[in-house]
Amino acid sequence: MTTESNSLICRDVAVGCGTVIWNFVNLYGCQIGDDCMIGAFIEIQKEVSIGHRTRIQSHTFICEKVRIGNDCFIAHGVMFINDTFSGGGPAGDPALWAETEVGDGVSIGSNATILPVKIGAGSVIGAGAVVTRDVPPNVIVVGNPAHITRRLTED
């Protein structure tokens, strides 16, 4: 799919059936599954994959090398980071960027910042959390840096 207008830029995007994309987005080189909702004022960069039935609310930034599972909820203003500034500043070489993996059924609260980590299935990331380490499945994490506040039971 390639579309350009004043309010929508989509280049080389694979979009699944039933997915709704609102205006004022930048999407390029990414894959979006079936029955998703992509809100307004979102940027999703290349090499990003988003599973089926995932909702991404407005003002969210998803950088390269992020994989989001099925049935996830990404709230307003969530920022994904792929550069850890390990050399003391921005890494201009994409080979130095790291990957982020978000498991199925994860919910991420508004204004959370997600560094390159793995977030286990069924976990909840609290609003405003800064996730600097991997998150196991079925837990709630909050704070800066994010820490586990409780474990969730599986249904």
Instruction: Judge residue 41's burial from the number of C-beta atoms within 10 Å of its C-beta, 0-12 exposed, 13-18 middle, 19 or more buried.
Output: middle
Instruction: Taking the CA atoms of 87, 91, 92 and 93 in sequence, report the sign of the dihedral they define.
Output: positive
Tens-binned pLDDT, residue by residue, of the chain (155 aa):
555 555 567 788 999 999 999 989 999 999 999 999 999 999 999 999 999 999 999 999 999 999 999 999 999 999 999 988 888 888 888 888 999 999 999 999 999 999 999 999 999 999 999 999 999 999 999 999 999 999 997 65
Residues 6+ apart with CB under 8 A from 60: 39, 42, 43, 74, 75, 76, 77, 78, 79
Tell me: the pLDDT tens digits for 57-85? 999 999 999 999 999 999 999 999 998 88
Stated pTM of the model: 0.91
Q: Which CATH class is domain 3-151?
A: mainly beta
Interatomic CA distance for residues 17 and 150, integer angstroms: 36
Query: Tokens for 140?
Result: 């709630």
